[in-house]
């Protein structure tokens, strides 16, 4: 994994922790952290899926994806995410 990816994962994780379990829209993450939306989606799906909850809201033809940390995951660190990712890679093989 690239160093830049790890930095972005940590930034997203810290933002979600700071929100204290309150949902945030992907565009909110993008505007706050200045990270491309596709990168955010990839990180959420590939690295943080185990640690977050997601809800998709559809209204008037628009979709909004809200994310927040699962209860009990407020103390998740980058090391936890990296350990989970390594286990996930081994299972896929």
Domains and CATH numbers, the chain: 3-92 (1.10.10.10)
Which long-range contacts link 52-58 to residues 24+ away (Cβ below 8 Å)?
A: 52/16, 55/23
How many angstroms separate the CA atoms of 7 and 12, rounded?
A: 9
Q: What is the pTM of this model?
A: 0.89
Instruction: Summarize pLDDT for 23-51 with one digit per residue, the tens.
Output: 999 999 999 999 999 999 999 999 999 99
């Amino acid at each position: 994994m690239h160093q830049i990816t790890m930095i972005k994962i940590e930034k997203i994780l810290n933002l979600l922790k700071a929100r204290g379990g309150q949902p945030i829209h992907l565009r909110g993450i993008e505007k706050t952290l200045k990270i491309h939306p596709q990168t955010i989606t990839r990180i959420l799906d590939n690295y943080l899926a185990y640690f977050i909850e997601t809800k998709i809201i559809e209204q008037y033809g628009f979709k909004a994806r809200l994310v927040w940390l699962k209860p009990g995951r407020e103390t998740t660190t980058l090391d936890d995410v990296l350990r989970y990712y390594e286990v996930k890679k081994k299972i896929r093989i």
